[in-house]
Amino acid sequence: MAEPLWQQCLDHLEDELPAQQFNTWIRPLHAERDGDALRLLAPNRFVLDWVKDRYGEQIITFARQQSGNGALRLVLEIGSRKRAEAEPAPSRPAVAAPGPRGDEPTPAARGAAGRRSNLNSNFTFDNFVEGKSNQLARAASRQVAGNPGVAYNPLFLYGGVGLGKTHLMHAIGNMILAQRPGANVVYLHSERFVADMVKALQHNAINEFKRHYRSVDALLIDDIQFFAGKERSQEEFFHTFNALLEGQQQVILTCDRYPKEVDGLEERLKSRFGWGLTVAIEPPELETRVAILMSKAQQTGAALPPEVAFFIAKRIRSNIRELEGALRRVIANAHFTARPITLDFAKEALSDLLALQEKLVTIENIQKTVAEYYKIRVADLLSKRRSRSVARPRQLAMALAKELTSHSLPEIGDAFGGRDHTTVIHACRKIQELKETEPRIAEDHANLLRTLST
């Protein structure tokens, strides 16, 4: 529960401010009471400045009134409360088990930035599904994990997004830790390295930064393509990298492409990346995608029939992340409806996801589709002609426009050659009636609906 005085402020502000402003600027604040100070913590400088400028006066005036303490001061700081205070979610669905985030280090364990391993214990070799596309990368990773600093140094994994680079990287780190529990294994994203360095420079702590990164047993840096164009970071990383290699400490890097193809990366870095082993991960082939789905479903305790796994795997080829997203959507629906996952069920659950164009239907789009379907011109639909061959399609198009868009009836009438809204009402009624009496119209309607909504 929020600090009591702040809770009163919240209730007051929620009444006073538009919902968007309240949710954007006031809700993220965390309040603490400290004698005569009402301390508000904002997640960043931007929010802090905004709140101070726009709402500071209003907040302190109200808080003084409520508390009867005229000496109350408002103190704004950047920071956050300990997340651990929050209660757990009311109930966790079965699908929430090992998710994309899995077992993360608890906030308490995070402590001082840069002093944590950050390894995700959920990513292991055991739950990495092997296939032709990643065999080599997996084998190399196993070797490195077995002989860190010796086998291949650096190990450079590259490939497109969502193919399992990060998974392999964590798996190596976890295995090193399992073999040598005291080992200092550090995983971080390249952005974190850059941010830490910038912070160290600002606080005159660059020597500590260097010492820290050079003292690790294994340094795992993800997505090094984001070093591109950041010269100072590359310079610092270059020296760290050399020191680690000299000390036979393991370096593992991932990148979305072959090192030589990263623009904005220094040549000397590119060439050093090739000193160890560079290995690609390719997009998984169908069988592997099926195996991945089955494995993920099993992890979450969902019963996924193989034919459903094939259905999903055939349609989502791009990467594992999207494959997993689709599976989670199917499982979420199954959980909600308490129905078993069948082929039809999966098709229904994923109908919007698998739609070729995940875009909204427009009146224009409806007119075009209806005209094509009846082999007439869009101009005919908009014209004054009233022959049956044009009038029926026009009525059907109007009915679909009402069904599938949020336009008002006058707007729909306008879009059909400036017709009155009563004409649209008439068209909708007529089509409703015909759908019941004329199978042909019902069929046309169903076909068009399918074309337009997939």
Partner 1 sequence: MTLRVGLRDSATFANFLAGDNAAALHLLQQGGEPFVYLWGGQGSGRTHLLQAACHAESARGGSPAYLPLAALARAGTAVLDGLEQMSLVCLDDLQAVAGQGAWEEGLFHLYNRVRDAGGRLLAAADAGPAVLGVQLADLRSRLSWGPVFQLQSLDDAGKLAALQLRARARGMELGAEVGAYLLRRCPRDMHALFELLERLDQASLAAQRRLTIPFVRELIN
Restricted to residues 160-179, the positions that interact with partner 1 (CB under 8 A) are: 160-162
Closest by CA to 302, choosing from 287, 286, 324, 318, is 324
* Residue 223: C-alpha distances to residues 117, 189, 348 (Å): 17, 7, 36
Question: What burial letters (b/e) apply to 98-121, b meaning 16+ CB within 10 Å?
Answer: eeeeeeeeeeeeeeeebeebbbbb
Q: Which 42-61 positions form the footprint of partner 1 (CB under 8 A)?
A: 43-47
DSSP 3-state of 329: helix
Q: Which 268-297 positions form the footprint of partner 1 (CB under 8 A)?
A: none
Q: Is 437 in the site for partner 1 (CB under 8 A)?
A: no
CB of 108 to partner 1, least distance (A): 11
Q: How far apart are CA 370 and CA 375, in angstroms?
A: 8
Q: Is 329 in the site for partner 1 (CB under 8 A)?
A: yes
DSSP secondary structure string, 144-199? HHHSTTTSSSSEEEE-STTSSHHHHHHHHHHHHHHHSTT--EEEEEHHHHHHHHHH
CB of 83 to partner 1, least distance (A): 6
Q: Is 32 in the site for partner 1 (CB under 8 A)?
A: no
Q: How far apart are CA 76 and CA 52, in angstroms?
A: 7
Q: Which residue has the tokens 């990263």?
A: 262
Q: Is 235 in the site for partner 1 (CB under 8 A)?
A: no
CB of 349 to partner 1, least distance (A): 8
Binds partner 1 by CB under 8 A, chosen from 1, 108, 112, 338: 1
CB of 377 to partner 1, least distance (A): 28
Binds partner 1 by CB under 8 A, chosen from 75, 77, 110, 150: 110
CB of 423 to partner 1, least distance (A): 13
User: What is the helix (H) or strand (E) element at residue 37, kind and residue range?
Assistant: strand 37-42
Q: Which 299-318 positions form the footprint of partner 1 (CB under 8 A)?
A: 318
Describe the crossing of helices 206-214 and 231-246 by its angle, rounded to 10 degrees: 40
- Contacts with partner 1 by CB under 8 A: the residue count is 78
Q: Is 357 in the site for partner 1 (CB under 8 A)?
A: yes
Q: Which stretch binds partner 1 (CB under 8 A): 284-292, 306-314, 319-327, 384-392?
A: 319-327
CB of 3 to partner 1, least distance (A): 12
Q: Which stretch binds partner 1 (CB under 8 A): 24-32, 52-60, 126-134, 436-444?
A: 24-32
CB of 150 to partner 1, least distance (A): 29
Pairing status of strand 30-34 against strand 37-42 = antiparallel
Q: Is 384 in the site for partner 1 (CB under 8 A)?
A: no
CB of 101 to partner 1, least distance (A): 5
Does the CA dihedral 62-66-69-72 come out positive or negative? negative
Q: Which stretch binds partner 1 (CB under 8 A): 23-31, 54-62, 270-278, 291-299?
A: 23-31
Which residue number, 12 or 142, has a Cβ lying nearer to partner 1?
12
Binds partner 1 by CB under 8 A, chosen from 73, 142, 189, 426: 189
Q: Is 353 in the site for partner 1 (CB under 8 A)?
A: yes
Q: Is 106 in the site for partner 1 (CB under 8 A)?
A: yes
Binds partner 1 by CB under 8 A, chosen from 152, 193, 226, 374: 226
Which residue number, 87 or 246, has a Cβ lying nearer to partner 1?
87
Compute CA 424 distance to the chain's CA centroid, rounded to the nearest angstrom: 42
Q: How far apart are CA 298 and CA 304, in angstroms?
A: 8
Which residue number, 272 or 435, has a Cβ lying nearer to partner 1?
435
Question: What burial letters (b/e) apply to 427-447, b meaning 16+ CB within 10 Å?
Answer: bbebbeebbeeeeebeebbee
Closest by CA to 95, choosing from 327, 276, 435, 376, is 327
Which residue number, 406 or 437, has a Cβ lying nearer to partner 1?
406
Describe the crossing of helices 206-214 and 190-202 by its angle, rounded to 10 degrees: 140
Binds partner 1 by CB under 8 A, chosen from 92, 375, 388, 450: 92
Binds partner 1 by CB under 8 A, chosen from 319, 367, 369, 395: 319
Compute CA 342 distance to the chain's CA centroid, rounded to the nearest angstrom: 27
Q: Is 344 in the site for partner 1 (CB under 8 A)?
A: no
Q: Is 96 in the site for partner 1 (CB under 8 A)?
A: yes
Closest by CA to 392, choosing from 357, 427, 439, is 427
Q: Is 15 in the site for partner 1 (CB under 8 A)?
A: yes
